[in-house]
Chain A
Amino acid sequence: DAGITQSPRHKVTETGTPVTLRCHQTENHRYMYWYRQDPGHGLRLIHYSYGVKDTDKGEVSDGYSVSRSKTEDFLLTLESATSSQTSVYFCAISRNQGSYGYTFGSGTRLTVV
């Protein structure tokens, strides 16, 4: 069983609409992250969380908000989607310890038309 799941896997939405992506983990990890992947940019950090209700901005946070009301769930919201937010979004979890890096979700392909 996957320790981390993202939903939805694919979504097409219209410009100006709000969108929420969900990340759910069963590993009880403290740290959770949202990244976006774009050609030529690798993965860039949007927001991260280091505990329930403890979140902070990453490198490309404009236009995004997050919430973490439970250890297992980390939600990413696009308040008013724009075409520049068309991307593949990855959630990741971490123990932030030694050689343990990230366990990634399967990704969400979001298209804003």
Chain B
Amino acid sequence: AQKITQTQPGMFVQEKEAVTLDCTYDTSDPSYGLFWYKQPSSGEMIFLIYQGSYDQQNATEGRYSLNFQKARKSANLVISASQLGDSAMYFCAMRGADDAGGTSYGKLTFGQGTILTVHP
């Protein structure tokens, strides 16, 4: 079974500063993918960044980067130069194999989420 844990229910950051949102995962699959999604107060789910388990480099997408530490099973999201519009709920999610044969139906397992508040 796959499990995602986000231990920070809420985080606060000052505008223009960097912030790290924690995510740890548990899986026995050798091949998996890790995702981060943003959910603003409007409720929509927005894809931010992806990291594959075999990727050698940490993923980056604009102001978002993923600090991937495979041995520690962590996939923390780093947001640089925070903006007021970054205030939202953030979810970490994982996709792995769904059976012993490695078949994947693309199911994502989500963490509980972290509410980020950016102060001016």
- The residues of A with any CB-CB pair to B shorter than 8 Å are 31, 33, 35, 40-45, 48, 50, 56, 58, 88, 90, 92, 94-96, 98-99, 101-104, 106-107
- Residues on A with beta carbons closer than 8 Å to the beta carbon of B93: 43, 101
Contacts A43-B91, A98-B52, A99-B50: A33 and B44 contacting too (C-beta < 8 A)?
no
Contacts A42-B112, A43-B91, A101-B35: A33 and B107 contacting too (C-beta < 8 A)?
yes
- Chain B, interface size category, equals 20 to 34
A101–B52 Cα distance when bound, in Å, is 11
Contacts A31-B105, A96-B104, A101-B35: A41 and B112 contacting too (C-beta < 8 A)?
yes
Contacts A101-B47, A102-B47: A42 and B106 contacting too (C-beta < 8 A)?
no
Q: What's the minimum C-beta distance from B47 to chain A, rounded to whole angstroms?
A: 6
- Residues on A with beta carbons closer than 8 Å to the beta carbon of B108: 33, 43, 45, 92, 101-102
Q: What's the minimum C-beta distance from A87 to chain B, rounded to whole angstroms?
A: 13
A95–B50 Cα distance when bound, in Å, is 14
- Residues on B with beta carbons closer than 8 Å to the beta carbon of A94: 106
- Residues on B with beta carbons closer than 8 Å to the beta carbon of A92: 45, 108
